[in-house]
């Protein structure tokens, strides 16, 4: 084989391998994490669609406006020897570019209103969990099942201080996750015992503040089993970055089993 050919072959091969490797690396890394998750509830998907709708409308308006601007900057420059026009007023175009955006806004407001009304309708729920924020952990109380526990960050301090290799779920891991059944309309109440926190799992499509002295009313209906992670989203002091939320969504049967286990272990610890 000709030496040149071999070199070319090697080059193609290595670049191919490099490309594959870098694609894999990119997929694993955060480079492609550019957008909101679609989530696992009907509401979260509605929110996602709304988000994309407005985003694209803004992109189109932006392209138009900036397009005109760049056109003008290119063709209407002094160095091309143009004489400046002197027009400076036109009620007609002012009215047009007041009304057109107004109509576009109405177009956005309609779906937004619909989604908002759905999200705020907390009727007809099948079970209730009360979530209380503390500096810096969450408490979950299953009001119908009589279960209650705290959920605290479980990432070791060494990882935070860069003394140990970081886990994949670095600072998104807890000792006791919140366990919820899928396909159930669940009411989630948020409140706080000290300062304001905010309970947020992006895959559910919303966050809601936990305010001391008041309770906020929310609901969700998870469609897919899985592990979903979230964070406290309201600044609550020193360890605000370290009060994550881990949510295990499980089938109804698994949930029933889990409930039993929990109730037994509480009964045992109560007996002691």
Partner 1 sequence: MSADNGYYVPHQSIWPIVGSIGLFVTMIGLANMLTGAWNASVLLVGATILLIMIFGWFGAVIKESESGLYSQQVDRSFRWGMGWFIFSEIMFFAAFFGALFYARQFALPWMAGDAGRLVTHEFLWPTFEYVWPSSGPAELGGEFQPMGWWALPTINTLILITSSITLTFSHEAMRHNQRQKHINWLALTIVLGLIFLGLQMYEYVYAYTELNLRLETGIYGSTFYMLTGFHGLHVAIGAIILAVILGRSLRGHFTAERHFGFEAAVWYWHFVDVVWLFLFICIYVL
Partner 2 sequence: MAATTHDVHDGHGEHHHGPAKGLGRWLFTTNHKDIGTLYLLFSLLMFLVGGSMALIIRAELFQPGLQLVDPHFFNQMTTMHALIMVFGAVMPAFVGLANWMLPMMVGAPDMALPRMNNWSFWILPFAFTMLLSTLFMPGGGPASGWTLYPPLVLQTGDAFPFVILAIHLMGISSIMGAINVIATIFNMRAPGMTLMRMPLFVWTWLITAFLLIAVMPVLAGAVTMLLTDRYFATSFFNAAGGGDPVLFQHIFWFFGHPEVYIMILPAFGVVSQIIPTFSRKPLFGYHSMVYATAAIAFLSFIVWGHHMFTVGMPLTAELFFMYATMLIAVPTGVKVFNWVATMWRGAMTFETPMLFSIAFVILFTIGGFSGLMLAIAPADFQYHDTYFVVAHFHYVLVPGAVFSIMAAVYYWLPKWTGHMYNERLSRIHFWLSVIGVNVLFFPQHFLGLAGMPRRVPDYALQFTEWNMVSSIGAFIYGISQLLFVYIVIQTIRAGDKATDRVWEGAHGLEWTVPSPAPYHTFDKPPKISTADAHG
Provide the binding-site residues for ligand CUA, judged by CB under 6 A: 133, 136, 197, 232, 234-236, 240, 243
Q: Are 220 and 233 in contact (CB under 8 A)?
A: no
Task: Decide whether 48 or 258 has the Cβ nearer to partner 2.
Answer: 48
Q: CB 44: neighbour CB atoms within 10 A?
A: 22
* Cβ 122 to partner 2 shortest distance, Å: 11
| 3-class DSSP state of 15 | helix
Task: Decide whether 101 or 212 has the Cβ nearer to ligand HEA.
Answer: 101
Task: Decide whether 42 or 104 has the Cβ nearer to ligand HEA.
Answer: 104
How far, CA to CA in Å, does 21 sit from each of 14, 15, 27? 10, 10, 10
Task: Decide whether 169 or 209 has the Cβ nearer to ligand CUA.
Answer: 209
Beta bridge partners of 18: none
φ/ψ of 246, rounded to 5, equals -120, 125
Q: Which does 214 bind (CB under 5 to 8 A by kind): ligand HEA, ligand CUA, partner 1, none?
A: partner 1
Summarize as ranges the residues that interact with ligand HEA (CB under 6 A): 58, 61, 65, 101, 104-105
* Cβ 134 to partner 2 shortest distance, Å: 13
Question: 6 exposed, middle or buried (CB, 10 Å; 0-12, 13-18, 19+)?
Answer: exposed
How far, CA to CA in Å, does 46 sit from each of 30, 55, 58, 109, 165? 25, 14, 18, 14, 38
Q: Which does 30 bind (CB under 5 to 8 A by kind): partner 1, ligand CUA, partner 2, none?
A: partner 2
* Cβ 254 to partner 2 shortest distance, Å: 26
């Amino acid at each position: 084989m000709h030496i040149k050919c071999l070199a070319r072959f090697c080059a193609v091969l290595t670049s191919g391998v490099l490309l594959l490797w870098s694609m894999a690396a990119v997929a694993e890394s955060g480079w492609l994490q550019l957008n909101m998750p679609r989530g696992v509830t009907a509401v979260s998907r509605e929110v996602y669609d709304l988000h994309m709708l407005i985003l694209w409308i803004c992109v189109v308006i932006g392209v138009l406006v900036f397009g005109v601007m760049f056109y003008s900057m290119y063709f209407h420059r002094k160095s091309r020897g143009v004489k400046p026009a002197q027009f400076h007023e036109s009620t007609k175009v002012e009215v047009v570019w007041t009304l057109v955006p107004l109509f576009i806004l109405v177009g956005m407001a309609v779906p937004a209103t619909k989604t908002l009304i759905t999200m705020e309708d907390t009727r007809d729920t099948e079970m209730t969990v009360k979530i209380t924020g503390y500096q810096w952990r969450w408490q979950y109380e299953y009001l119908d099942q009589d279960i209650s526990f705290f959920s605290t960050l479980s990432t070791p301090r060494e990882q935070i201080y860069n003394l140990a290799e970081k886990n994949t779920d670095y600072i998104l891991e807890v000792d006791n996750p919140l366990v919820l059944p899928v396909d159930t309309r669940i009411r989630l109440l948020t409140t706080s015992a000290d300062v304001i926190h905010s309970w947020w799992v992006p895959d559910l499509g919303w966050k809601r503040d936990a305010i001391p002295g008041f309770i906020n009313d929310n609901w969700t209906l998870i469609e897919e089993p899985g592990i979903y992670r979230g964070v406290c989203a309201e600044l609550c002091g020193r360890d605000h970055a370290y009060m994550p939320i881990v949510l295990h969504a499980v089938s109804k049967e698994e949930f029933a089993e889990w409930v039993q286990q929990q109730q037994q272990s509480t009964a045992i610890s109560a007996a002691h």
